[in-house]
Amino acid sequence: MANRRLILILGDQLSLSLSSLQAADKAQDVILMAEIMEEATYVPHHKKKIAFLFSAMRHFAEPLRQNGWTVDYVRLDDEGNSGSFSSEVKHAVKRHNTSHIIVTEPGEWRVKRMMESWQDGLGVPVHILEDDRFICSHAEFVDWAEGRKQLRMEYFYRDMRRKTDLLMDGEKPAGGKWNYDAENRKPAKADLFMPRPPRTKPDAITKEVLTLVADRFGGHFGDLEPFWFAVTAKGAEAALNHFIKHALPSFGDYQDAMIRDERFLYHSVLSHYINAGLLDPLAVCRRVEEAYHTGGVPLNAAEGFIRQIIGWREYVRGIYWLKMPGYVDENFFGHRRALPDFYWTAETDMACIRAAVNQTKTDAYAHHIQRLMVTGNFAMLAGIDPAQVHEWYLAVYADAYEWVELPNTLGMSQFADGGLLGSKPYAASGNYINKMSDYCDGCRYDVKKKTGENACPFNPLYWDFLIRNENVLRGNPRLGQVFRTWDRMAEDKKKAYRDSAAKFLKTL
How far is the C-alpha of 101 from the C-alpha of 193, rounded, in Å?
A: 51
Beta bridge partners of 71: 31
Predicted local distance difference test score (pLDDT) of residue 237:
98
Residue 74's H or E segment, with its range, is strand 70-74
How far is the C-alpha of 132 from the C-alpha of 105, rounded, in Å?
A: 9
Residue 168's H or E segment, with its range, is strand 168-169
Predicted local distance difference test score (pLDDT) of residue 409:
97
Which residue, among 505, 503, 221, has the nearest Cα to 343 in the 3D structure?
221
May I ask the CATH architecture of the domain 138-200+229-323? Alpha Horseshoe (1.25)
Beta bridge partners of 33: 73
Predicted local distance difference test score (pLDDT) of residue 364:
97
Give the residue extent of every domain in the chain.
Answer: 5-129, 138-200+229-323, 342-506
Distances (CA, A) of 118 to 18, 95, 123, 377: 21, 16, 8, 41
How far is the C-alpha of 143 from the C-alpha of 156, rounded, in Å?
A: 11
How far is the C-alpha of 263 from the C-alpha of 111, rounded, in Å?
A: 33
How far is the C-alpha of 275 from the C-alpha of 234, rounded, in Å?
A: 15
193 Cβ neighbours under 8 A, 6+ residues apart: none
Q: In this structure, which topology does domain 5-129 adopt according to CATH?
A: Rossmann fold (3.40.50)
Cβ(500)–Cβ(460) under 8 Å? yes
- Taking the mean position of all CA atoms in its chain, how far away is CA 123? 36
- Parts of the chain with a pLDDT under 50: none
Q: How many CB atoms lie within 10 A of CB 86?
A: 16
Predicted local distance difference test score (pLDDT) of residue 7:
98
Residue type, 90: K
Which residue, among 96, 100, 159, 106, has the nearest Cα to 129 in the 3D structure?
106
Dihedral pair phi/psi, residue 19, rounded to 5° = -60, -35
Radius of gyration (C-alpha) of the chain in whole angstroms: 24
Predicted local distance difference test score (pLDDT) of residue 124:
93
Predicted local distance difference test score (pLDDT) of residue 325:
96
Cβ(48)–Cβ(363) under 8 Å? yes
Predicted local distance difference test score (pLDDT) of residue 193:
60
Helix axes 458-468, 480-488, angle to 10 degrees: 100
Cβ(39)–Cβ(11) under 8 Å? yes
May I ask the CATH architecture of the domain 342-506? Orthogonal Bundle (1.10)
How far is the C-alpha of 385 from the C-alpha of 397, rounded, in Å?
A: 19
- Taking the mean position of all CA atoms in its chain, how far away is CA 478? 27
Predicted local distance difference test score (pLDDT) of residue 185:
62
Residue-wise pLDDT tens digits, 309-362: 999 999 999 999 999 999 999 999 999 999 999 999 999 999 999 999 999 999
